[in-house]
Amino acid sequence: MIYWIVLIGIPLLLGLYAQMKVSSAYHKNSQIASRGRITGAEAAQAVMNSAGIGDVEIVEVQGFLSDHYDPINKKLALSPNNYRGNSLAALGVSAHEAGHAIQQKQGYAMMKVRQLVAPAVQFAAPVSYFIFGWGFFLGGAFIKSLLPIAVAALVVMVLFQLVTLPVEFDASRRAKLQLVNLGILDRDEMVGVNETLNAAALTYVAAFVDSLGKLLYLLLMFSGGGRRND
């Protein structure tokens, strides 16, 4: 039981805390308009223009915080509040996504690694979710019968989320730097941007901890350690 609490329960609570933190920070700073009053789409365009990027399309997508950068199709997708909004949160998130476009243009190594691992995640993610989602209902014997597959899937997930950390941290660093250097935001406005992006970064840390905890838990089961210590 102690292994489940430490390796599954605590990461789960961390993930819930991270989601609440990012929602709270985003909601708070989405109520604060930037002095320049430019939109998130305009800020993202300005950041990319400063890096000489002219082949990335900025598009609006539905959803809450559904913002992402598509390196294959070279599309920067922003949710409505960030695409059209002029809040500190909107500018921070939009500039962050533009940071990914800069990473691709400059050949940022960790982004290349993440792109290589990404196709395997499309298989690994549903496998790991299925085994942990249904495995405990179907019993330990069911999980153990699929241990090799589950471990392989979680290794992929852990690797992907590990390389995602520097990619996301670096994109935020670039965003914060450019928002000030380009005069989009004043330095005192960066408090709201920092709060929003730092909270978002915690969700990536939580995702990594969650996958690592699950992997270690399965490895303990595979070795029999979990039985001896439960």
Annotated catalytic sites, by residue?
Answer: 97
From 177, 8, 43, 115, select the one nearest 58 (Cα to Cα).
Answer: 43
Instruction: Return d(Cα 44, Cα 228) in angstroms, integer.
Output: 54
Instruction: Return d(Cα 128, Cα 62) in angstroms, integer.
Output: 27
From 99, 98, 82, select the one nearest 26 (Cα to Cα).
Answer: 82
Q: What is the largest CA-CA distance in the chain?
A: 62
* Residue 123 burial (CB count, 10 A): 12
Question: Which residue reads 């085994």 in tokens?
Answer: 131
Helical spans, DSSP H, in the chain: 2-4, 10-29, 40-50, 80-84, 88-106, 109-138, 140-145, 147-181, 190-223, 225-229
